[in-house]
Structure 1
Amino acid sequence: MAFPDLQSFIRLLEARGELVRVHTPVSRELEITEIADRLVKTGGPAVLFEQVLGSDFPLVIGLMGTRERTALALGVADLDELAARVRHLIDLKGARGLGGLLGQLPKLRDAMNLPPRRVNTGPAQEVVWRGDEVDLSRLPILKCWPQDGGPFVTLPLVITKDPETGERNMGMYRMQVMGRNVTGMHWQRHKTGTRHLEKARALGQRLEVAVAIGGDPALIYAATAPLPPIPGLDEFALAGYLRGQRYPVMKGVTVDLDVPANAEFILEGYVDPQEPWVMEGPFGDHTGFYTLPDLYPQFHVTAVTMRRQPIYPATIVGRPPMEDAYLIEASERLFLPAAQLILPEIVDYHMPPAGVAHNLVVVSIKKSYPGQAYKVANGLFGLGQMMFAKVIVVVDEGVKVNDFAAVWREVAQKAVPGRDTLTTRGPTDVLDHSSRGWGYGGKLIIDATTKRPEEVGGAVSSRDEQAGDLAPEAFAPQVAASLPTSGGVLAQTQTPDGYWLVALNKTRPGQAQELAQLFAAHPAAAGMRHLLLVDEETNVHDLQDVWWTILNNIDPERDVWPQGGLLVWDGARKLPEEGFVRPWPPKIVMDEAVVRRVDALWHLYGLAPLQVTPPEKEGAAQ
């Protein structure tokens, strides 16, 4: 089902009981975030805030805040259908003769929907602000988290054009409002926007930029998708394919760029590569930590165009699960067939919310020879944005990759520390605060597949001299009274799956290594396979919270090592005395006064009481 615009999708959600209108005035500074965060973590509805204090426009949030709503937005009954559609499209085998050609027509019709369709006018230019009329404070742009550097546009579709080739790009890059007509432009070093800016610098010219806010859901998703570098395939083409019809675009009023004709707002302007970059941030990011301030270019807004009655769409990111988890899952499904074309033994893969996309990838394979797990993992590291993956876990084809608890049981039972773990190095996401260098760090491959005889003859720990896979009964949690409590240990527990979860108050360098030696030598380690060390803010009884902290806070080459029969994961903060020179960012926590305010006003919002157990949280707490 194709939606002509965002508002048609909003009407459908409201008709289905998936969107609630809030008539009570709300603040765009933190209050909307607190409401939206509670709802997305409990599978609640999208919300249309009709009165945002200090703004002329309503705001909608959480439009794709569940798996089901994301599927609906992309025109499928279930996200798994995306893989089937792409597999059908790319299976364009040569057809001979008229009969063979006619048999390909349905697929060719799909492909013809890819290029955008030029129109002369559209709703997105019904109202135009120019010059002194431009005032971004009139839009309900959110300050999401207490330590954010200011309000941020969180759902922008940033459009640029290669100054040399004319290649078009659309990406989603956060934008901090720095004045009535100026924002930051968070173009990281790996992004296409950065490449376009550098070309403009070399040519001695400004780079024109258009930022669409809104558009139909397929276009919003397409701006987040990690598209492969295929000529003719851009975000408008992907949206056209998902819609089943060519995407309508028109020329901007002050920029020579194609903009979506059905957007709610469009910000037009430029980035001057000769200007000094400005300090942007902090920002409560999708990692669940603040991204600390850094230098980025400025975007100057020369015009704002909009519908006559626009709705401002927004999202929030932070501690998982968040709305972006479902957009990530859509990309998984969409690009699974392409990954299988290159690595045909792949059965399925998944990036769990606890891994915030790039920190953890679980892949199941049809294994037929020794070493195949490493071949697949290394192949994945070379596929587009998969190069940012930090930990790849490879499991057998019968394991459900989206069953978080089952995956880690497989790891405990089939991956012997040191024998079935391999560290390497490569590019990392620049938001990774724990890597050994900016955008560069360690990676970990865990082979949790059933081993062949050739794979069990290498180095193993003394406990695992037999080097066979372990049955679940091999793990025996110890009683709490027998566990060690020295070295800054604040809380700990052991799971039936062989994981020892320990929260510590880190006060000195080398403390994690000391604890690892102590714990590995303790009798309580006899039934354990992994030692997970986390900070004092982590709940050791919540497996999701533990793994989220671990995966954010490790550089695998530095922080994951075999100790006796344990694989140690040091997820505590790193200190300057340990050679870590970058500032360590705080975890995102909402201001308590805002939490109390939302508690007090919840009954006025017209929202249902919150569920106790999040319905879409993967893996039960241990």
Structure 2
Amino acid sequence: MPIEDIHEFISELERNGELKRVKTEVDSNLEIAEIMRREMYSNGPAVLFENVKDYDMPVLGNAFGSMKRLEIGLEMTDFTEIGKRIADMTKMDVPSGLLNKIKKLPELSKMTASFPKSESDGPVTEITSTDASFEDLPILKSWPNDAGRFITLGLVATKHPETGVRNLGVYRMQIVDKTHALMHWQKHKRGAHHGDISKDRGEKIPTAIIIGGDPATIFSSIAPVPEGLDKYLFAGITRKEGIKTVKCKTIDLDVPANAEIVLEGYVDPADIRDEGPFGDHTGYYTPVEPYPTFTLTGIMRRKDPVYVTTVVGKPILEDAYIGKVIERSFLPLVQMFHPEVVDFSMPAAGWFQGFAIISIKKRYPGQAKKVMMGLWGMGQLSLTKMFVVVDEDINVHDINDVIWAITTRADAARDTTIINNAPTDTLDPASPLVNLGSKMGIDATQKTKEEGYDREIQQQVKVDNKTRNLVDSKWSDYGL
């Protein structure tokens, strides 16, 4: 059975030695964030702060800050399983004839089991109120020059104003006062797209901020799923069981029934205010920029909620591990569109959107550039600023092996591709304009005569099998 909520997740983390409780009083203003960063930088455990100054609500941080914690939360060790499940569904044929339909029932039941299930109530509906205030929550200020307190791990729920497809995204929110916050959904994100459609229609967009929930739903809200795929369905695919949902009280949205807190309201695309600065995962403060305003209209919560949060800054922090799971889980989808791709890595030091390495089974000239162009046209990968393509014999997760390939198989003038005036991540501190910059691709594959490489390919130095086997057989005798 999948883990159902944060309380169960906390128990599992503690049972596996992946959580510590802090009973000393701590302040949500800077102190908690600094503790969380120190623990992350030293590979420490998740932390449950049980005594938060001025609040009677515990704070959970670093809950997803290691691969082991994500394995516990998502109940798997091979994260490519997630992408394989989606790929298998897209390949599923519609059966014809009674016998074929019966044969397909097991596969079809797996698909339907992933769909969300609507409930009349749930744990998050234990307390409901229209007299809601952000001041009731231990929202963190993380860095000294931040513009204020920010919700950093709120799952922002919206639905497409025309199709009704539901989305969950994690967008930071700067608290303005008791009932207003600024919604930092960047131009390329799905929530911002929903907001733009509502603006064109002259409407405000119903929005819910979900704090906590089961680990698979939290992960799904961060994952850049294919366009048109309902995030609630993706959560069910991830956990192999559909999530339970309930209706909000003041807006027309469904939300996970096992959440800790749901903040109901709407975003007014016409009410634009200055947001930031904020110490971000690039390691820099993002500057002040205009973003729309969220207005709080109601709250649903448990009687004993846990406030779940995260901190960002110069890598490597908690978001790096979540990003690694996204990388693994979407490899099968990348391979669906580009079958020559062998492996894929987005190193955490490159804050994921900045740098990616792809290994391919090369069959024809120019294939590395073909893969680069294709990936730059795929969803959120369009924002990746640097691609390096290597041959299948290179380990994309070993940066030393990658550097060796770049320096022995790439010629700077011949194998570097620069694309100007392309979309870039809003948070990129190096781009000359916000949302617009350049791309760089490095073809670090072995070149062929068809690609203008007229030299003989030099032979790699490798040990012969006879010597390897001899040393293997005597290794324990060497005393090394």
CA drift at 1:428: 0.6
| Larger displacement relative to structure 2 (97-106 or 218-227) | 97-106
1:483 is aligned to: none
Deviation digits for residues 149-187 of structure 1 (CA, Å, limit 9, x no counterpart): 111101011111233332322111100111111111012
Deviation digits for residues 183-231 of structure 1 (CA, Å, limit 9, x no counterpart): 110121122222222332233332211111111111111111111123x
Matched, 1:280 2:278: no
Summarize the alignment of residues 178-577 of structure 1 with structure 2, pairs less than 5 Å apart.
178-230=176-228, 233-275=229-271, 277-425=272-420, 426-457=422-453
Look up the SS of the partner of 2:412 in the other structure. Answer: coil
Asked whether the 8 Å contact 2:3–2:9 carries over to 1, the reply is yes
CA pair 216-385 structure 1, distance change in 2 beyond 3 A: same
Asked whether the 8 Å contact 2:365–2:451 carries over to 1, the reply is yes
CA drift at 1:236: 0.6
CA drift at 1:400: 1.5
CA drift at 1:370: 1.2
CA drift at 1:272: 2.2
CA distance in 2, matches of 1:225, 1:351: 14
Deviation digits for residues 374-398 of structure 1 (CA, Å, limit 9, x no counterpart): 1111111011111001110001112
Deviation digits for residues 73-93 of structure 1 (CA, Å, limit 9, x no counterpart): 112123344344445444425
Look up the SS of the partner of 2:36 in the other structure. Answer: helix
Matched, 1:140 2:135: no
Q: For 2:244, give the aligned amino acid.
A: P
| Larger displacement relative to structure 2 (1-10 or 148-157) | 1-10
Deviation digits for residues 341-392 of structure 1 (CA, Å, limit 9, x no counterpart): 1111001101100111111010000011111111111111011111001110
CA drift at 1:97: 5.7
1:17 is aligned to: 17
Deviation digits for residues 527-568 of structure 1 (CA, Å, limit 9, x no counterpart): xxxxxxxxxxxxxxxxxxxxxxxxxxxxxxxxxxxxxxxxxx
2:154 is aligned to: 156
Q: For 1:49, give the aligned amino acid.
A: F
CA drift at 1:120: 0.3
Q: For 1:380, give the aligned amino acid.
A: L
TM (norm. structure 1) is 0.71
Look up the SS of the partner of 1:242 in the other structure. Answer: helix
CA pair 82-228 structure 1, distance change in 2 beyond 3 A: closer
CA pair 469-10 structure 1, distance change in 2 beyond 3 A: farther
CA drift at 1:470: 9.8
CA pair 268-183 structure 1, distance change in 2 beyond 3 A: same
Which runs of 5 or more structure 2 residues have no equivalent in the other structure?
Answer: 462-480
CA distance in 1, matches of 2:345, 2:103: 34
CA distance in 1, matches of 2:355, 2:432: 18
CA pair 393-72 structure 1, distance change in 2 beyond 3 A: same
CA drift at 1:95: 5.8
Summarize the alignment of residues 88-99 of structure 1 with structure 2, pairs less than 5 Å apart.
88-93=88-93
Look up the SS of the partner of 2:270 in the other structure. Answer: coil
1:174 is aligned to: 172
CA pair 90-280 structure 1, distance change in 2 beyond 3 A: same
CA pair 90-205 structure 1, distance change in 2 beyond 3 A: closer
Q: For 2:348, give the aligned amino acid.
A: P
CA distance in 2, matches of 1:89, 1:399: 31
| Larger displacement relative to structure 2 (7-16 or 165-174) | 165-174
Asked whether the 8 Å contact 1:395–1:448 carries over to 2, the reply is yes
CA distance in 2, matches of 1:151, 1:168: 27
CA distance in 2, matches of 1:84, 1:162: 26
